[in-house]
Amino acid sequence: MDKHLFRALAQFWNPAYSCFTFRGVDLVPTVEEYMALLCCSKIQVDKAYSRAVNIPTFLKKLMNITGMSEQWVVARIKHKGDSKCILWKNLKDLILAHPNTKKKVDVFALSVYGLVVFPKALSHVDEAITDLFDRLDKRVTPVPTILAETFRSLNECRRAGPVTTPEYIEWWGKRINDNIPGPSQ
């Protein structure tokens, strides 16, 4: 992926609403636009994302993606709510230290999908993302899944009302009125 494109995407991506925001206007890419952004042109467009009957466990999928041992993966799997996940810091450390360049790219892509496209728990990559990666190896397009998740997220935000994300509430509780002049100014 082009680093300048990635930087621009990250700058305008709104993880709370799973869409791009430009000066208060929310934009949700179409299937074709997602395919272009994710460089999925060679993947069959007509295949929908579906769950296979015989899928490997989260542990096995993480071992396959990272190229690390079972002990390494088991030590880093955490439970967050009702699902399993892995901490972003562990993946970042692996990206920096892994000797295999292909595995570095795979772990980076897993992180991008987990933190930007499908954020579930702050600073964690959820187990559902590894299922998506398993599908990518089988040449099934992730675009309908991403589009469905974006639609679901936007509907959830509309029901909840404006500015009710956990990140916003946390920021609001910590914010300091630094734009108000003090007595000596």
User: Which domain range does residue 152 map to?
Assistant: 1-50+141-162
* pTM exceeds 0.85 for this model: no
> Do 146 and 117 meet the contact criterion of CB atoms below 8 Å apart?
yes
3 domain-assigned: yes
Q: Residue 118 in contact with residue 128, Cβ under 8 Å? A: yes
Is 174 within a domain? Answer: no
> What is the count of structural domains for the chain?
2
Residue 126 inside a domain? The answer is yes
With CA atoms as reference, report the closest residue to 31 among 150, 155, 118: 150
User: Tens digits of per-residue pLDDT, 21-63?
Assistant: 777 777 777 666 766 766 665 555 445 444 445 667 888 989 9
pLDDT digits (tens, 9 = 90+) for 119-159: 777 788 888 788 777 666 666 666 676 677 777 777 776 67
> Edge-to-edge, what's the strand order for the sheet holding 124-126?
77-80, 83-87, 124-126
How many Cβ atoms are within 10 Å of 48's Cβ, its own excluded?
11
My answer on whether 107 and 28 are in the same domain is: no
Query: Cα–Cα distance between 78 and 93 in angstroms, integer?
Result: 16
Judge if 127 and 60 occupy the same domain.
yes
